[in-house]
A = this chain, B = another copy of it.
């Protein structure tokens, strides 16, 4: 407080000294308009002087209009400091480093056409929130909160909420993955998982290989980390095996990033045999795989396609990054990394140095939701729902949009290669007609894919799907002439 360093001299009246001290502090800008003064009792006690002297000085200052005492609230400075504080002004934009600049430059939300009310948007592949079981979720909250609310609101563990970790281990085992010698780190969705992995395993200039096209967020994160990206083209059944082998042989990357199921953006599901070939090639060249479990849960077909990670029985060379964000509660930001336990032990420290841990309340609610059977019921419902919607959208696309080919077998989006028509050009015209979608080039490295577009249908109703697809089709036809 302002009197801590105050020293009384014996030659002047005490109340005058106090008045001057307060005036000086206002002058210097230490006490600002609205600053609360210590109480007269506190000052007298601190300085060891009679309270009366302090009361007098406060009264004098108040009569001069410098301070004002409010009943029951205290005494406050009522004038502006005369010193205008110098402005410590920093040119932040200039201070942002290469990483920060890239994050902004590649942040498509900052550059894309702004959404307007009433538009039909095929941009998103987020789940349709109207399908969420709110009542079930509420029950999960009330249940975990009454059991361990206090604990959940205090600090937890970097690795994650133990029952959720155990649950996901079992869940991955059911998918055919051998979890012995492996462990799980709970992350803020896929994004944090992938970012932590690249931060911990790669250096600027390192080579990373991936499918072309690939998940735009993954591509952005790889670029932000300054990695040298080797894009391996896809065929209609997934990654080109020959080019993959050639790449791994001649230019071995540090990591291979793959999306085997409902690949984003093409929607291709890599078949069992191909998964096996990919795995064998990586084994041959000793290249670890980062497997993006994206939308694996949405497999509509009855036949189970086990993740790549299931092929690596006793090995540790596949890191599986999981997330339910495209199906369930993305707002909670819960994902996971399943990997070698020693690697997880290290990544846990990285997680602790970055975000400490994910919300424990969210993790506990999520766990309860999974474990209670609500998830299974929900999945049954949404698989049917999205499958029907997929078929409907596909039909509309085939009918209305002239295309070279259409890729995908389900999921929440359809990927279209146009015939000699630029996707961004189509978008520009569609935008004027109130329809937006994802131009395909954001999924390509080095500005490829200019004639592709991605149609996400999860949050659009059938009527709008039909209307929107027709509009896109008309624009494509007009531009194609």
Q: Which A residues are within 8 Å of any B CB, using their own CB?
A: 1-2, 4-5, 25, 28-32, 34-39, 42, 74, 84-90, 92-93, 95-97, 99-101, 103-104, 106-107, 109-110, 124, 126-127, 129-130, 132, 134, 137-138, 141-142, 145, 149-156, 158, 176, 188-189, 191-192, 195, 199-203, 217, 220-221, 224, 237, 254, 271-273, 275-276, 279-280, 282-283, 286, 288-289, 301-306, 310-318, 325, 329-333, 339-340, 342-343, 345-347, 349-350, 352-362
Give min CB distance, A260 to chain B, whole Å.
Answer: 13
For residue A365, which residue of chain B has the nearest CB? B361
CB contact between A330 and one of B42, B74, B155, B189 (< 8 Å): that residue: B155
Cα of A28 to Cα of B280 in the assembled complex, Å: 11
Cα of A279 to Cα of B271 in the assembled complex, Å: 63
Q: Are B90 and A153 in contact (CB under 8 A)?
A: no
Give min CB distance, A28 to chain B, whole Å.
Answer: 6
Give min CB distance, A106 to chain B, whole Å.
Answer: 8
Q: Are A86 and B280 in contact (CB under 8 A)?
A: yes
A154 / chain B contacts, CB cutoff of 8 Å: 126-127, 129, 132, 329-331
Known: A100-B346, A103-B352. A150 touches B130 (CB 8 A): yes
Q: Are B343 and A92 in contact (CB under 8 A)?
A: yes
A221 / chain B contacts, CB cutoff of 8 Å: 353
CB contact between A176 and one of B32, B39, B303, B358 (< 8 Å): that residue: B32
Q: Are B107 and A302 in contact (CB under 8 A)?
A: no
Q: Are A349 and B107 in contact (CB under 8 A)?
A: yes
Give min CB distance, A435 to chain B, whole Å.
Answer: 21
Cα of A138 to Cα of B142 in the assembled complex, Å: 8
A310 / chain B contacts, CB cutoff of 8 Å: 32
CB contact between A273 and one of B30, B37, B84 (< 8 Å): that residue: B30
Q: Are A176 and B333 in contact (CB under 8 A)?
A: no
Known: A88-B318, A272-B31. A129 touches B110 (CB 8 A): no
A110 / chain B contacts, CB cutoff of 8 Å: 349
A217 / chain B contacts, CB cutoff of 8 Å: 353
**Selected A-B contacts with CB under 8 Å, 11 pairs:** A28-B273, A74-B302, A85-B311, A88-B279, A97-B202, A104-B350, A107-B349, A124-B155, A153-B330, A188-B354, A189-B355
Q: Are A189 and B5 in contact (CB under 8 A)?
A: no
Q: Are B97 and A200 in contact (CB under 8 A)?
A: yes
Q: Are B99 and A199 in contact (CB under 8 A)?
A: yes
Q: Are A346 and B288 in contact (CB under 8 A)?
A: no
- A-B pairs, 10 with minimum CB distance: A88-B317, A100-B200, A87-B315, A188-B355, A107-B349, A92-B343, A129-B150, A104-B349, A30-B272, A1-B303
Known: A200-B103, A273-B28, A353-B107. A288 touches B97 (CB 8 A): no
Q: Are A2 and B272 in contact (CB under 8 A)?
A: yes
For residue A314, which residue of chain B has the nearest CB? B87
Cα of A106 to Cα of B275 in the assembled complex, Å: 39
Q: Are B134 and A141 in contact (CB under 8 A)?
A: no
For residue A74, which residue of chain B has the nearest CB? B302
- For A4, A38, A349, the residue with the greatest tally of chain B CB atoms inside 10 Å of its CB is A349
Q: Are B149 and A97 in contact (CB under 8 A)?
A: no
A349 / chain B contacts, CB cutoff of 8 Å: 100, 103-104, 107, 110
Q: Are B362 and A359 in contact (CB under 8 A)?
A: yes
Q: Are B317 and A90 in contact (CB under 8 A)?
A: yes
Q: Are A2 and B90 in contact (CB under 8 A)?
A: no
For residue A313, which residue of chain B has the nearest CB? B85
Q: Are B137 and A149 in contact (CB under 8 A)?
A: yes
Give min CB distance, A279 to chain B, whole Å.
Answer: 7
For residue A193, which residue of chain B has the nearest CB? B355
CB contact between A192 and one of B96, B134, B286, B355 (< 8 Å): that residue: B355
A282 / chain B contacts, CB cutoff of 8 Å: 88
Cα of A156 to Cα of B331 in the assembled complex, Å: 6
